[in-house]
Amino acid sequence: MSFEQNFNGSGNNSSTATAEHSDSLRAKVEAEKQAKIEELLAPYRVKRAELQAKREELAEGLEEVDKALNELDGVITNVETSVGLHPSNPKRKKHATHKKHVTHESVDQDWVIQKLRERHLSFNELTKLAKEENFKPGSVKTVLTKLTEANLVRVTDGEHYEIV
């Protein structure tokens, strides 16, 4: 057997193994890269969820303020009309079509612990569940902070919470 035959003939198996090893290394590097990206993004995702919950809480507060403003605008318009004045701001009534504000209860420690016993959840998942169950989503952060400080709950992978 010549050198080329020996190299090429047995090289097929070796080149296949090398390609598989290369693909395996590439997949491993890609998985590590993806894990690092997720690790770096986790605090930003948590912060975003906190801000989203705060935004929703503030939106609910704005609905209350709009309702109170509309009531006051109605009173002012009625008084102005009753004394023969032209209403000073005819655009006031446009905001009266907002949906009614519904007050949601805050989640409590027992609710959070129950959910975490069922499975490990992220902050986003807990706030989503709270919202689905008609609890105030913004209250999840407060309860998680208290439970974490009391060493009853910990963060496992930078994102998910578990019972200690």
Give domain status of residue 159, yes or no. Answer: yes
Residue 117 belongs to domain spanning: 104-164
Residue 156 lies in a domain: yes
The band of 89, judged by pLDDT with boundaries at 50, 70 and 90, is: low
CA 29/CA 78 separation, integer angstroms = 71
Instruction: Look up the CATH number of the domain holding residue 113.
Output: 1.10.10
This prediction's pTM: 0.41
What digits encode the pLDDT tens for the residues 100-123?
Answer: 666 788 888 899 989 889 888 898
Rounded to the nearest 5°, which phi and psi values hold at 113?
-60, -40
Q: Report how many domains make up the chain.
A: 1
Whether residue 143 lies inside any domain: the answer is yes
125 inside domain: yes
Q: Looking at the predicted structure, is the pLDDT value of residue 57 above 60?
A: yes
Which residues have CB under 8 Å from 96's CB, separation 6+?
70, 74
- Residue 81: is its pLDDT beyond 90? no
| Phi, psi at 122, each rounded to 5° | -85, 170
